[in-house]
């Protein structure tokens, strides 16, 4: 049976794996898994229908991403927890969230209006600066949008192999159910936002989230990778993803072109390292930068063996990267050299933001760590 | 037949020849007319059991302290094999004195310690974990995919590069806070224990294990590390190893009791005989213990002393009777028979009452308590032979010191007008009068209500951190506090058990329900950390995606969840993937903490949303789960037990006195003592648990002795037509004075225990001396006051003509 083969293949994950593992095997594997027909039947997911429970200490839960809503900091994480701080990360409060699933990403268009992306293809929306959230769209609906879009594409281009491929892809993803998490969000205005996710999931809204459209056919990634992060650099919108995938949009996110791959390593983040230098980082300490909008890349030397999972350019111009082993690295020469700051944060670091007072707020497996700006010099 | 009414008039017989050997009951006749045969049998038994008693070991079996029929435990025992001795383990934290654990010397020392511990008897070796054991592995993502290996690899040579590798590996295990403290200054050796010594096949000797662990501690403490060791084995081991000091305190108590008795009698001969008879009872008891194959546990170690104490109380009564008769000029044999005649029944009723009330403890489904009940019942039963029969026959040979006998008589004037009585008797006599009686009753009832009010707050289980049997300043409790502060896991683990169909341990609905429960528990302030397949799956989907943080969570994709099957940690499921334990590390195992966890879990399970054909959640495993189950059993047992003990006491008093009025006089003072003892437990912060549950029952048993000795003589006098005041006065002169003596003697002896190194003994010392004293006080003050209303002499005057 197919699923036995899959389990066999997955068992191989636990022995030292072959080279090129990340490039093809994982996306292929997940497409197989997704299409195996053994996916969950139409289940009533209780975790999508109940409010997140109140946690004992909002600053001590696993948090994955952090964003600004004006001067407020909003961070998202496990079991539907969204927390916010109005004092630069010193104290945290829990927002009202209608679900209990992992929330992976958050972005604000204005201090009041923002979106959060979650597991099950869920997009949440807030209009009060992150205090309360409502559900806008979920995975099952995204699957339908995707199938409808691909079907329409095929109807207008019946002989286009790309269109046939698109329909096949949409149907496979549809049959797996709403299992694809949103991984990244970009909020351009209170009306316009794009959400990216697993297997090249991409949806966009132009009406503040009332209606969403499938954008995945406009993202030129033929293998349907996981799209982990997005960033505005200059006037372009960049996406970084699995197996070294980098895409760029020069038309405000309407279409994305595939850029040369810096390496086969999966990229978890991408950001502006200053002076329009693009810096991307990811698996096993890998980091790359490009001074020509991603046309060519050079490796950046970061003394990390663990995954780099957070990065930011501070107001001072210093570039900060952090990894899953709790280490923080700094570069004061536009990313040419990084050094590790002494001391370990004692948790895997998944997200970073600079608070209004200049302090660096890290989020990760054990919650929040505030690193005073003074200690970074 | 064995009735004091048969005693007839007891004339003074200076010569044994003038005494009718056939007088008295048949039983008395058989005993005293064959006293040489009887004593010879006793000596043979003593020698035999004395030799046997040398085999008695002091030990404790963890499983014996578990209520095996309680539903939690039934569930737990079903999964005993799956849980790999999670309940009974020793944890050793090894702290670097300087720097961190990432140090060549530290790791070398740790290896030596780890190797030594590995070889100790009783260690479940395949499941022992430390930084050095091969089962401590890291899994991580590399540029090439997923990789795993031991934390300290085969190529480790102590070089700085290798040390950095060890540090990275530790981070990759996800065990920071469990295997290694957050500050990287300590690491943990986790040592699960078997119930048997795998070298000898015999039950594990905890005293020996704890001595060996302490030797390892002493050896390496000077080598740049500090060891902290916790676990059931260490608590019990410390208590067993402290037993010499316990025995020393017993010896002091015995010495004090002996000195008091001598001070009272001024007769070395009879004092030694009483002590000898009481110790003989203990020797017999220990011999029988050995024949039954029981061990003496740190909790039942008090029982032999209690038997001794009860024996002293009865022995002193016998000696006092004999002494008074000899003082009147009676021949020792006749004096012994008279005493036997007067007091055998009262003593017998009291001891049988004790035996039965201790036996009531056997209804509790915990082996340790049943053994304690058996030991106590047997010991007290033996006293019937040694102190009620053997002691008088011995006294019939030895007699007493003649000067002492005269002295005894001199201080015992024949009953007369009040002015001839001494101050104490005059004072106590006041309670046979209306105003003082009312005052005493009102005062005691008020105390009783107060005791009930305070005693309602008595808690079941442990009320302190660590091991409440040991002092908070003890090495163990300091170690426990250290490990509690530095590690996320501690000695208190509660396990929720979830059964699934075979190969169903990774089903989406199971993991979601388990994850929900785990998440709720994580929010409790008493929970330090949790672990289960649900949290493993949350990180597992990260592992499947090159450790991408955004894949954290349980994805609604069954094939993806199933694919975790190849790398499940052994402790999170079983071989057939049909079991999902949820481990909850608690800050402590106080009764309140356990209640909180049990309530949250039970509420969760009761929710129809969390019931599914795909899984069944149940309580409970882990040492904290077992403690919760034990608390539940003890809470129920405590109520039923006191009820039954009193039922037994009332029935025996009814049989003995054949008067409900007398029963009230005897039982009400006991009740007030019980109520006040509970209040004292609240005040001292002692919870009711396996170790302390029997004490209140034992207290009732001791108290009833006093009441029976006082009341049986008083009733006899009343039935012979004395006024209440005279009847009471005569009782005071005969048995009452001995009740006062033993009450004060035993309380003084036991109160020295508050200086004992083991807090359990100190607490018991305080409780017991309170009960010795207060029972005495009740028998001396409240009993006559109640008798004023319930046993007025006119009651007996009316009866005399008819009966």
Tokens of A289: 């930068």
Q: Are residues B210 and B287 in the same domain?
A: no
Indicate whether B732 belongs to any domain.
yes
- The verdict on B504 and B615 lying in the same domain is yes
Contact A34 B557 (CB under 8 A): yes
Give B203's strand partners.
B196
Any residues with CB less than 8 A from the CB of A56 and at least 6 apart, and which? B522, B523, B524, B525
Q: Output the CA–CA distances (angstroms, integers) from residue A190 to A98, A206, A208, B487, B642, in the order listed.
A: 21, 9, 6, 47, 72
Contacts of B755 (CB under 8 A, 6+ apart): B249, B762
- For B744-762, how does the pLDDT look when each residue is reduced to its tens digit (9 = 90+)? 888 887 888 888 877 888 8
| pLDDT above 70: residue B147 | no
CB atoms within 10 A of CB B24: 22
Q: Do A40 and B144 touch (CB under 8 A)?
A: no
A146 forms bridges with which residues in the sheet? none
Q: Which residues contact A196 (CB under 8 A, 6 or more apart)?
A: A182, A183, A184, A185, A202, A219, A227, A230, A239
Q: Are residues B380 and B298 in the same domain?
A: yes
Is B333 inside any structural domain?
A: yes
Query: d(Cα B689, Cα A376) in Å, to the nearest integer?
Result: 55
One domain for residues B279 and B312: yes
Interacting residues of B315 by C-beta distance below 8 A, sequence separation 6+ = B273, B274, B275, B277, B278, B387, B391
DSSP output for B655-702 = HHH--HHHHHHHHHHHHHHHHHHHHHHHHHTPPB-TTTHHHHHHHHHH
Rounded to a whole number of angstroms, the distance between the first and last alpha carbons of chain B is: 17
* Nearest residue in B to A173, CA atom: B557
Residue B132 phi, psi dihedral angles, 5° rounding: -90, -15
Q: Among candidates B488, B495, B493, B489, which has minimal Cα distance to B601?
A: B495
**Per-residue pLDDT tens over the stretch B459-488:** 888 877 777 778 888 888 888 888 888 887
8 Å CB contact between B515 and B553: no
**Residue B801 and residue B803: Cα distance in Å, rounded?**
6
The mean per-residue pLDDT over the stretch B703-712 comes to 85
Kindly report the number of other CB atoms within 10 A of residue B797's CB atom: 12
B154-170 residue pLDDT tens:
788 888 888 878 887 88
Whether residue B223 is found in the same domain as residue B281? no
A28 at interface of B, judged by CB pairs closer than 8 A: no
Check whether A91 has a pLDDT greater than 60: yes
Residue B164 sits at the chain A interface (C-beta within 8 Å): no
CATH number at residue B30: 1.20.1640.10
pLDDT at res. B142: 56
Residue pair B239/B247 in contact (Cβ under 8 Å)? The answer is no
Over residues A183-203, the pLDDT tens digits come to 999 999 999 999 999 999 999
Alpha-carbon span B779 to B781, nearest angstrom: 6
Residue B146 touches chain A, beta carbons under 8 Å = yes
pLDDT of B606 reads: 93
End-to-end CA distance of chain A: 58
CB neighbours (10 Å) of residue A19? 10
Report which of residues A24 and B661 the model is more confident about: B661
Say if residue A23's pLDDT is above 50: no
Asked if the structure places residue B299 within a domain, the reply is yes
- Per DSSP (E only), the strands in B486-534 are 493-499, 527-531
What integer pLDDT is reported at residue A126 of this predicted model? 96
Q: Which residue among B172, B176, B556 sits closest to A179, beta carbon to beta carbon?
A: B556
For residue A65 the two structure tokens come to: 């991403």
Q: In the A/B pair of chains, how many CB contacts fall below 8 A?
A: 159
Whether residue B708 has a cis bond before it, omega within 30° of 0: no
In a domain, residue B650? The reply is no
For residues B144 and B161, state if they share a domain.
yes
Out of A220-229, B24-33, B49-58, B130-139, the most confident range is A220-229
CB A181 within 8 A of CB A197: yes
Other Cβ atoms within 10 Å of A78 Cβ, number: 23
Partner B contacted by A148 (CB < 8 A): no
| pLDDT tens figures, A229-281 | 999 998 999 999 999 999 999 999 999 999 998 888 999 999 999 888 999 99
- Quick: pLDDT tens for B176-188: 777 888 788 899 9
Bridge partners of residue A278, in order along the sequence:
A272, A290
pLDDT at A14: 34
pLDDT digits (tens, 9 = 90+) for B235-284: 888 888 777 777 888 888 888 889 988 888 888 888 999 999 999 999 99
Helix (H, G, I), strand (E, B) or coil at B28: helix
Residue at B231 is within a domain: yes
Q: Do A10 and B557 touch (CB under 8 A)?
A: no
Q: Which of A38, A53, A325 sits opposite B559 (nearest CB)?
A: A38
C-alpha–C-alpha distance, residues A258 and A247, integer Å? 4
Mean pLDDT of chain B: 84
**Domain contains B464:** no
Collapse the DSSP code of B231 into the 3-class scheme (helix H, G, I; strand E, B; otherwise coil) and give the result.
Answer: coil
Q: Does A155 touch chain B (CB under 8 A)?
A: no
Query: Which residue in B182, B519, B550 is closest to A53 by CB distance?
Result: B519
If one counts the domains in chain B, the total is 4
Determine, for residues B144 and A47 on separate chains, whether the beta-carbon distance falls below 8 Å.
no
Q: Least CA distance to A57: which residue of chain B?
A: B523
Q: Does domain A51-376 have CATH number 2.130.10.10?
A: yes
pLDDT (0 to 100) of residue B141: 54
Residue B641 has phi, psi (to 5 degrees) of -65, -50
The predicted structure's pLDDT at residue B246: 78
pLDDT of residue A20: 38
Average pLDDT over residues A353-370: 93
pLDDT, residue B540, reads 84
**Residue A257 to residue A335: CA distance in whole angstroms:** 25
Tokens of A125: 């929306």
State how far the Cα of B644 lies from the Cα of B101, in Å rounded to an integer: 57
With the C-alpha atoms ordered B589, B594, B600, B604, is the resulting torsion angle positive or negative? Answer: positive
Predicted local distance difference test score (pLDDT) of residue B521 = 95
Q: Which residues of A touch B543 (CB under 8 A)?
A: 13
Token pair 């035993």 is at which residue?
Answer: B746
Residues B700, B788, single domain; the answer is yes
Q: Write out chain A residues lying below 8 Å of B176, CB-based.
A: 346
Q: Which of B382, B412, B442 is the last residue of a domain?
A: B412
CA B122 to chain centre: 25
Please state, in angstroms and rounded to a whole number, the distance separating the CA atoms of residues A216 and A150: 9
B767 and B671, same structural domain? yes
Q: Would you state the structure tokens that stand for residue B553, as one six-digit string? A: 């969570």
B 538-567 → A contacts, CB under 8 A: 538, 543-553, 555-560, 562-567
- Per-residue confidence at A16, pLDDT binned at 50, 70, 90? very low
Expressed as residue numbers, the domain containing B263 is 1-6+19-54+244-412
A54 contacts in B (CB within 8 Å)? 523
**CA pseudo-torsion sign B660, B661, B664, B665:** negative
User: Could you give the CA distance from residue A278 to residue A338 in angstroms, rounded to a whole number?
Assistant: 16
Confidence of residue A39 (pLDDT cuts 50, 70, 90): very low
Give the H or E element holding residue A17: none
Q: Which residues contact A330 (CB under 8 A, 6 or more apart)?
A: A318, A319, A320, A338, A339, A341, A376
CA–CA gap between residue B535 and residue B526 (Å, rounded): 19
d(CA A330, CA A311): 10
- When the pLDDT of each residue in chain A is averaged and rounded to a whole number, the result is 86
The rounded distance, in Å, linking the Cα atoms of B352 and B284 is 17
Q: Are residues B538 and B429 in the same domain?
A: no
Position of tokens 């209170």? A190
Q: Residue A154 pLDDT > 70, yes or no? A: yes
Tell me the pLDDT band of A13, cut-offs 50, 70 and 90.
very low
φ and ψ at A352, to 5 degrees?
A: -145, 150
Quick one: pLDDT at residue A274? 87
Is A46 an 8 Å CB contact of chain B? Answer: yes
Sheet strand arrangement including A82-85: A63-69, A72-77, A82-85, A93-94
* B779 Cβ neighbours under 8 A, 6+ residues apart: B669, B703, B706, B707, B710, B739
Q: Do B558 and A178 touch (CB under 8 A)?
A: no
Q: Which of B240, B264, B281 is the last residue of a domain?
A: B240
Q: Can you tell me the mean pLDDT for A344-370?
A: 92
Alpha carbon of B773 to those of B425, B438, B750, B781: distances in Å? 18, 22, 11, 12
What one-character-per-residue DSSP string does B137-157 give? EEEEEETTEEEEEESS-TT--
The full set of domain ranges for chain A reads: 1-12+20-39, 51-376
Q: Do A6 and B547 touch (CB under 8 A)?
A: no
Collect all residues of chain A within an 8 Å Cβ-Cβ radius of residue B146: 13-14, 16-17
Q: 3-state DSSP call for residue B486?
A: helix
Residues 203-242 of A with CB under 8 A from B: 226, 228, 242
Structure tokens that stand for B777 in this block: 């006080």
Query: Which H or E run contains B219?
Result: helix B206-221
State the pLDDT at residue A290.
Answer: 93
Tell me, yes or no, whether B378 lies in a domain.
yes
Q: Is the pLDDT of residue B96 over 80?
A: yes
3-state secondary structure (DSSP) of residue A219: strand
Which positions in chain B touch A11 (Cβ < 8 Å)?
563, 565-566
Looking at the structure, do residues B386 and B266 belong to the same domain, yes or no? yes
Tell whether the model's pLDDT for residue A172 goes beyond 80.
yes
Cα B732 to Cα B425: distance, rounded to the nearest angstrom = 7
Indicate if B234 and B252 belong to the same structural domain.
no
Compute the Cα dihedral for B56, B61, B63, B69 and give only its sign: positive
**Kind plus residue range of the DSSP H or E element containing A163:** helix A161-175
Contact criterion met (CB < 8 Å) for A100 and B555: no
How many other CB atoms are there within 10 angstroms of residue B605's CB atom?
17
Res. B5 pLDDT band, cuts 50 70 90: very low
**B103 interfacial to chain A (CB closer than 8 Å):** no
Among candidate residues B412, B443, B465, the one where a domain is terminated? B412
pLDDT of residue A2: 36
Sort out which chain A residues have CB atoms less than 8 A from B609's CB and list them: 46
Question: What average pLDDT does this structure show over B704-715?
Answer: 86
Question: Hey, are the CB atoms on B544 and A10 less than 8 Å from each other?
Answer: yes
Query: Residue B363: is its pLDDT beyond 70?
Result: yes
Which of B538, B550, B556 lies nearest to residue A120, judging by beta carbons?
Answer: B556
Mean per-residue pLDDT, B630-656: 85
* Closest residue to B559, CB basis, from A16, A39, A307: A39
Average pLDDT value for residue range A21-42: 45
Of the partner residues B145, B182, B565, the one whose CB lies closest to the CB of residue A7: B565
Strand ordering across the sheet containing A257-258: A227-233, A236-241, A246-249, A257-258
Please enumerate in sequence order all residues whose Cβ is within 8 A of that of B360, keeping only pairs 6 or more positions apart, or say none.
B373, B641, B644, B645, B648, B697
For the record, the structure tokens of B75 come out as 């569930």
Chain B, nearest residue to A198 by Cα: B551
Q: Which chain B residues are Cβ-neighbours of A76 within 8 angstroms?
A: none
In a domain, B649, yes or no: no
The residue ranking higher by pLDDT, A57 or B81, is A57
């Amino acid at each position: 049976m197919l699923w036995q083969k899959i389990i066999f293949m997955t068992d191989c994950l636990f022995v030292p794996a072959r080279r090129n593992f990340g490039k093809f095997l994982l996306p292929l594997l997940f497409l197989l898994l997704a299409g195996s027909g053994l996916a969950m039947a139409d289940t009533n997911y209780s975790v999508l229908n109940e409010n997140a429970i109140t946690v004992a200490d909002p600053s001590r839960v696993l948090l994955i991403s952090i964003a600004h809503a004006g001067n407020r900091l909003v961070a998202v994480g496990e079991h539907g927890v969204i927390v916010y701080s109005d004092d630069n990360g010193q104290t945290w409060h829990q927002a009202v969230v209608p679900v209990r699933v992992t929330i992976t990403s958050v972005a604000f268009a204005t201090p009041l209006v923002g979106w959060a992306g979650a597991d099950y293809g869920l997009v949440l929306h807030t209009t009060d600066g992150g205090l309360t959230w409502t559900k806008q769209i979920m995975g099952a609906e995204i699957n339908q949008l995707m199938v409808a879009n691909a079907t329409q594409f095929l109807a207008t281009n019946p002989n286009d192999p790309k269109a046939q491929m698109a329909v096949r892809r949409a149907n496979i993803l549809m049959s797996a159910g709403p299992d694809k998490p949103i991984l990244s969000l970009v909020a351009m205005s209170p009306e316009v936002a794009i959400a990216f996710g697993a297997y090249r999931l991409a949806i966009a809204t132009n009406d503040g989230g009332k209606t969403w459209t499938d954008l995945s056919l406009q993202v030129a990634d033929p293998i349907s990778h996981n799209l982990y992060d997005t960033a505005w650099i200059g006037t372009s919108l960049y996406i970084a993803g699995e197996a070294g995938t980098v895409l760029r949009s020069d038309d405000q996110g309407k279409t994305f072109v595939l850029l040369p791959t810096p390496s086969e390593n999966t990229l978890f983040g991408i950001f502006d390292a200053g002076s329009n230098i693009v810096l991307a980082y990811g698996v096993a300490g890998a980091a790359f930068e490009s001074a020509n909008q991603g046309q060519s890349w050079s490796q950046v030397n970061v003394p990390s063996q663990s995954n780099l999972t957070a990065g930011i350019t501070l107001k001072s111009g210093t570039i900060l990267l952090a990894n899953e082993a709790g280490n923080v690295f700094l570069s004061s020469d536009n990313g040419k050299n990084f050094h590790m700051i002494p001391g370990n944060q004692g948790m895997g670091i998944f997200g970073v933001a600079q608070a209004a007072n200049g302090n660096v707020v890290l989020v990760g497996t054990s919650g929040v760590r505030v690193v005073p700006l003074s200690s970074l010099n | 037949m064995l009735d004091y009414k048969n005693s007839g008039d007891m004339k003074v017989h200076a010569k044994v020849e003038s005494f009718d050997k056939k007088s008295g009951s048949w039983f008395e006749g058989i005993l005293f007319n064959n006293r040489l045969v009887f004593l010879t049998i006793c000596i043979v038994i003593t020698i035999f059991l004395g030799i046997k008693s040398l085999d008695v070991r002091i030990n404790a079996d963890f499983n014996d302290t578990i209520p095996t029929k309680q539903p939690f435990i039934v569930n737990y025992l079903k999964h005993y094999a799956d849980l790999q001795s999670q309940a009974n383990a020793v944890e050793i934290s090894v702290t670097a004195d300087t720097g961190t654990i990432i140090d060549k010397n530290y790791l070398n020392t740790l290896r030596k310690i780890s190797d030594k511990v590995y070889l100790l008897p009783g260690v479940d070796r395949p499941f022992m974990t430390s930084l050095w054991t091969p089962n401590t592995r890291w899994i991580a993502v590399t540029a090439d995919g997923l990789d795993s290996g031991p934390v300290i690899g085969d190529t480790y040579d102590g070089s700085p590069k290798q040390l950095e590798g060890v540090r990275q590996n530790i981070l990759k295990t996800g065990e920071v806070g469990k295997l290694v403290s957050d500050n990287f200054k300590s690491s943990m050796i986790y040592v699960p224990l078997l119930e048997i010594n795998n070298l000898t096949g015999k039950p594990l000797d905890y005293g020996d294990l704890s001595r060996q662990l302490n030797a390892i501690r002493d050896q390496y403490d000077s080598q740049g590390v500090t060891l902290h060791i916790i676990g059931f084995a260490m608590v019990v081991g410390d208590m067993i190893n402290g037993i010499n000091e316990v025995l020393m305190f017993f010896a002091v108590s015995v010495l004090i009791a002996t000195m008091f008795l001598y001070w009272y009698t001024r007769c070395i001969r009879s004092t030694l005989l009483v002590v000898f008879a009481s110790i003989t009872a203990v020797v017999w008891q220990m011999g029988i213990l050995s024949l039954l194959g029981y061990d003496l546990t740190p909790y039942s170690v008090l029982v032999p002393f209690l038997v001794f104490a009860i024996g002293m109380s009865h022995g002193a009564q016998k000696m006092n009777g004999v002494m008074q008769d000899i003082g009147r000029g009676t021949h020792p044999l006749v004096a012994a028979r008279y005493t036997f005649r007067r007091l055998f029944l009262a003593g017998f009723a009291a001891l049988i009452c004790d035996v039965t009330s201790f036996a009531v403890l056997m209804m509790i489904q915990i082996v340790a308590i049943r053994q304690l009940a058996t030991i106590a019942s047997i010991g007290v039963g033996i006293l019937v032979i040694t102190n009620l029969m053997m002691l008088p026959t011995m006294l019939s040979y030895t007699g007493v010191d003649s000067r002492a006998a005269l002295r005894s008589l001199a201080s015992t004037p024949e009953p007369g007008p009040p002015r001839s009585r001494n101050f104490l008797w005059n004072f106590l006599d006041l309670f046979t009068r209306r105003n003082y009686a009312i005052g005493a009753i009102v005062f005691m009832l008020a105390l009783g209500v107060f005791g009930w009010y305070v005693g309602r707050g008595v808690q079941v289980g442990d009320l302190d951190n660590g091991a409440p049997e040991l002092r908070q300043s003890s090495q163990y409790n300091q170690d426990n506090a250290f490990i509690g502060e530095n590690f996320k896991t501690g000695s208190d683990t509660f396990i929720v058990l979830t059964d699934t169909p075979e190969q169903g341990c990774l089903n989406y609905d199971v993991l979601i329900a388990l994850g929900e429960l785990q998440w709720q528990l994580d929010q409790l302030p008493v929970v330090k950390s949790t672990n289960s397949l649900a949290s493993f799956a949350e990180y597992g989907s990260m592992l499947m995606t090159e450790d991408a943080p955004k894949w954290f969570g349980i994805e609604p994709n069954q094939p993806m969840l199933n694919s975790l099957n190849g790398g499940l940690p052994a402790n999170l499921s079983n071989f057939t993937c049909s079991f999902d334990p949820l481990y909850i590390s608690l800050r402590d195992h106080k009764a309140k903490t356990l209640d909180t966890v049990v309530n949250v879990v039970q509420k969760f399970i009761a929710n129809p949303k969390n019931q599914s054909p795909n899984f069944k959640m149940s309580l409970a495993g882990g040492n904290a789960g077992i403690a919760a189950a034990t608390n539940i059993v003890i809470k129920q047992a405590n109520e039923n037990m006191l009820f039954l003990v009193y039922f037994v006491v009332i029935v025996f008093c009814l049989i003995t006195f054949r008067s409900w009025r007398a029963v009230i006089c005897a039982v009400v003072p006991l009740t007030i003592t019980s109520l006040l003892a509970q209040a004292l437990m609240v005040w001292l912060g002692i919870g009711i648990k396996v170790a302390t549950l029997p004490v209140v029952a034992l207290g009732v048993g001791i108290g009833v002795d006093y009441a029976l000795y006082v009341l049986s003589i008083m009733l006899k006098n009343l039935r012979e037509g004395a006024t209440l005041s005279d009847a009471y006065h005569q009782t005071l002169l005969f048995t009452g004075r001995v009740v006062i003596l033993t009450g004060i003697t035993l309380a003084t002896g036991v109160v020295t225990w508050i200086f004992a190194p083991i807090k359990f003994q100190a607490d018991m010392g305080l409780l017991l001396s309170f009960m010795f004293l207060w029972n005495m006080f009740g028998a001396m003050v409240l009993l006559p006051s109640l008798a004023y209303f319930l046993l007025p002499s006119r009651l007996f005057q009316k009866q005399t003509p008819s009966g």
